[in-house]
């Protein structure tokens, strides 16, 4: 039963990530093109910070390689 709940939570989390991603796309569509690099930097900065801190604290293999599939959605 625990496995079932874990899968259900993972599916819900993926759904929330997808909704957040779709919202970011709708925001990006309304922005002038020249501001898009700033939006991208703001979105990616937390991920970049997490990876850099993990390397500093735990070593070079602290996080798995980032692939487009992992970054956007599996």
- pLDDT for res 7: 58
Q: How many Å apart are CA 21 and CA 9, to the nearest integer? A: 18
- pLDDT for res 36: 94
Residue 51 near residue 63, CB atoms below 8 Å: yes
Domains identified in the chain, total number: 1
Task: Decide if 37 is inside a domain.
Answer: yes
Q: Which domain holds residue 64?
A: 32-74
The structure's pTM equals 0.58
- pLDDT for res 69: 76
C-alpha distances out from residue 1 to 9, 13, 15, 60, Å: 13, 19, 21, 36
Task: Decide if 6 is inside a domain.
Answer: no
Q: How many Å apart are CA 9 and CA 73, to the nearest integer? A: 15
Task: Decide if 26 is inside a domain.
Answer: no
Nearest to 21, CA basis, from 45, 6, 40, 7:
40
Residue numbers of the chain with a pLDDT score lower than 50: none
């Amino acid at each position: 039963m625990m496995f079932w709940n874990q899968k259900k939570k993972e599916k819900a989390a993926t759904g929330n990530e997808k909704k957040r991603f779709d919202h970011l796309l709708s925001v990006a569509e309304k922005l002038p093109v020249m501001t898009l690099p700033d939006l991208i930097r703001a979105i990616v900065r937390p991920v970049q910070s997490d990876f850099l801190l993990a390397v500093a604290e735990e070593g070079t293999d602290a996080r798995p390689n980032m692939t487009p599939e992992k970054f956007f959605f599996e």
